[in-house]
Structures are given as C-alpha cells and as structure tokens.
Structure 1
Amino acid sequence: MSSGTNTRLDHLVVAAHTLEQGLSYVKKQLGVTLPYGGEHPKMGTHNHLARIGNDIFLEIIAINPAVGHLERPRWFNLDDRRMQQSLKECPRLISWVVNTGDLGSLLEGAHCSFGTPEPISRGELSWHFALPADGRILGGGFLPYLIQWHVDSHPAGRMAEVGLRLKSLTLYHNNPMWLLGMLTSIGADRLVEVKGASGAEPQSIRAVFDTPLGEVELSSL
C-alpha cells in the first residue's frame, strides 16, 4: 500500500433501498452484475462489489435487514428517512471514497472535519474509516470519505472483472473554489474534475464508465 498521506481514489458508492434493487439498477444502467461482497456488522449494511480500474472499485450498498437496532447511525446517511425515501424511488451514486497510508496525518491537515477514524471489518478485510458521529454524507457527497486499508495489497485486485472501467469523475458544485480548497487539503483535488454548477449543469456527482453497453454515466441526481 502507499505510504504517508499519498491520497488515491478508492471506490465509488451507489446506495440503494435494498441490495436487490441496487443490483437491478446497475444491471440496467451499466449492463453488468456485481458479485456479492459481504456484511458490515458494525454498520448494519451489506454490499456488492466489482473492480473498475487499478485499485478502484464500485460498491452497491444497502441496509442489511437482518441487522436490528444499532447503537450508532449507519454510514452514508442510510438511516435518514429522506434518504431512504429517495432511494426507494431510485438507487443512485451518492459518494466517493479515497484511501491513504496515514489517515491520522491526513485528517490533521484537512481544512474541515472528515470524522473520526474507526476500525471496520468485513470477513478477512480490516480498515480504518473516518466517520462523522451522525453518519452524514460529507459535504452532500461532494467531499469523500477517507479510508486506510490494513492489507498487503488493495482488495480491488481480488474483485471480479465484470467489464467496467471508470473513465472520469466530475463534481459540479455551486461553490467550486471552496470545494477545491477542501479537496486540496487532503490531496484529493487531482483525483476528480471540479466544475461550477449552473442551470444547464445542476449540482451533481457524475461518473463516466466504459461498459458492455458503451460509455455510460451514473449521476447523483
């Protein structure tokens, strides 16, 4: 893994009301089926995963209905009633994640709060994930979550190849200079393209993929 605070794009997150709904959405939009990943007991969620580039993957995540009450809010704002109402209508791209070899140093240099590092595990995988106490999406999804893997090689290398490749990730934001400043403070400004939002290009996160169906865009809208 990378050392120091070297920041890399780690994965993109598509949230769904249920995993089955999320799988159907991705199959329709991208023409592929993502294999099952596993469960996150601490967060009460489960996921499907596939590789979309060198050490980058796509995640479909949803609340695990087999898990009861949690002592803390789930990540990605999944406990929020309005979020779940929106996801019932349609799954969507809601956030992105970057990784680093030194999460503590990255958080110390950040120009805003990205949360507190917490240990998380899924099967044989373990990592630290910076989480806000209320489980909110950072900056409405425009700021990434931060992760530090505790593995010898990135887990994407062991994920299935389903014919997807990420071509670009673009953030259309109402205050692009503010967003660039926050991203620069964690070394993530070079990982995405930031543009100003407008009437023709409303505020949104947009990822473009090469897929079996051709070039396809997923959006947070």
Structure 2
Amino acid sequence: MNAVPPLLDHLVLATPDLAATVADFAQRTGVMPVPGGAHPDLGTRNHLVGLGGRSYLEILGPDPEQPEPAEPRPFGVDQLAGPRTLTWAISPPHLESAIKTARARGYDPGPVHPMSRRTPDGTVLRWRLTDGGHAHPSGLVPFLIDWGSSRHPTSSGLPVTPLLEVSATAPDPEEVHGPLAALGTGLALTTGPVSLSFTVNTPNGPVTFG
C-alpha cells in the first residue's frame, strides 16, 4: 500500500477552535498555515498548508465573523472536543466518470453539490464535491472533489510540509477496503478504533497528527 493515497486532494483537520489549532500546528512544525477563506452561510473558515504536489491540508473550524448558520456546521465541528483528522478528499481526472465507476463497483459516493469560498484577496473559488451525507460513516472513505476552472489551492504559494504518510485504523479494515478500491484509491489500514492520521516532514522533523 502506498504511504500517500492515490488521487489525494486534501486532508481535513477539523477543530472547534481554529485559532488554537493553527497556533498548535505552527508550534509543532515550525510552519504557519495561511488563511484560506470563509465558507459563506456554513459558519466555517479554514487555514491551509501544502503537502507537496497538488495535495494540501485544510484546517477547518468555526468562523467567529459569520452568524450562527441555519444548519449544523460541516464535519460536525460543533460536536468536537478537540482537533481531529476527520476525513479526506480525492480529485479524480473526471468526477462524473469516477462516480459512475464507483457505483458500478458497489459504492455510491452520493450526489454532487456546488461549493464556494472567498479567499483573503477577494477571489471566489468554486468547486463541486460529492455529498458527505452519503459518505462512509467512518470518514475513512474520501469524498470526491472537482475544482473545475478555479485555481487549485496549492497554486497560491502555500507553505509546504511534505506529506510522508497517511494511515488509519478501523474495526473491520476489509469493510473499508471495498469502497476505497471502488474509488481507485487506498489507505494503509490496520485493525482498531476508527481513526485517521498523517505524518508530515517539517523543520522540526517528522510530526504526526491524528
């Protein structure tokens, strides 16, 4: 199994306190994540770090500058006791074809929805992704994303902590392998409670986040 999953677009490190988690990442790695932007009407915003190539880390948490959203914030950040790597995304060459293939192989990633966020320089990024409500409940099976004509986050000069490894545990790893294979990707999986972790290379040496 590859140490880095094929087609990886980004990892999602969700947190109930964005500022504190960004500060902790900077202290542990020696690299400061940069503001990515706000997600209108969802009540969240993010900070980003490149992981090498076209992959990045999204640190996502509540946006204190937005009003309380009508629906629960994405990724259940309101229920988190602390920062946690919750899930990840892949970017296949063609979104619709990847969904069709996955369904033919027995896994339905769900319908596609448009999303957007405004970057600090005022640019609006637009993308499409599969519905997280249909995703595997463990978070270990990625959602799919297509950036279309928008500038990919890694093209904006992000600070980089090269990704060394992504690994996970699950009570039944074989049950997760099937959906991963249907999507054309994979994870290093061992038996244990549901968890997702990654290790990056930093000026302070390798650092692992769970």
- TM over 0.5, shorter chain: yes
1:43-100 deviation line (CA, Å, top 9, x unaligned): 2210111211100111111111232243444321234xxx23x12xxx1222111112
The 8 Å contact of residues 125 and 151 in structure 1, kept in 2 or not, is answered as no
User: In the alignment, which residue of structure 2 is the partner of 1:208?
Assistant: 199
User: In the alignment, which residue of structure 1 is the partner of 2:109?
Assistant: 114
TM-score (norm 1): 0.79
Q: Structure 1 residues 68 and 114, CA, compared in 2 at 3 Å: closer, same or farther? A: farther
User: In the alignment, which residue of structure 2 is the partner of 1:97?
Assistant: 89
Letter paired with 1:58: L
1:51, 1:28 → 2: CA distance?
Answer: 17
User: In the alignment, which residue of structure 2 is the partner of 1:142?
Assistant: 140
Q: Structure 1 residues 153 and 64, CA, compared in 2 at 3 Å: closer, same or farther? A: closer
1:152, 1:20 → 2: CA distance?
Answer: 27
Match among 166, 173, 194 for residue 170 of structure 2: 173
Superposed displacement of residue 153, structure 1: 5.8
1:152, 1:66 → 2: CA distance?
Answer: 25
Q: Structure 1 residues 166 and 153, CA, compared in 2 at 3 Å: closer, same or farther? A: same
1:10-58 deviation line (CA, Å, top 9, x unaligned): 1111111122112122123323210111111042210111211100111
What is the total number of aligned residue pairs between the two structures? 197
RMSD (CA atoms): 2.2
The 8 Å contact of residues 138 and 145 in structure 1, kept in 2 or not, is answered as no
The 8 Å contact of residues 34 and 159 in structure 2, kept in 1 or not, is answered as no
Q: Structure 1 residues 127 and 168, CA, compared in 2 at 3 Å: closer, same or farther? A: same
The 8 Å contact of residues 41 and 66 in structure 2, kept in 1 or not, is answered as no
1:87-115 deviation line (CA, Å, top 9, x unaligned): 2xxx1222111112322232233333433
2:135, 2:75 → 1: CA distance?
Answer: 5
Superposed displacement of residue 186, structure 1: 0.8
1:203, 1:159 → 2: CA distance?
Answer: 33
Aligned identity (percent) is 29
The 8 Å contact of residues 9 and 89 in structure 2, kept in 1 or not, is answered as yes
User: In the alignment, which residue of structure 1 is the partner of 2:69?
Assistant: 70
2:195, 2:34 → 1: CA distance?
Answer: 27
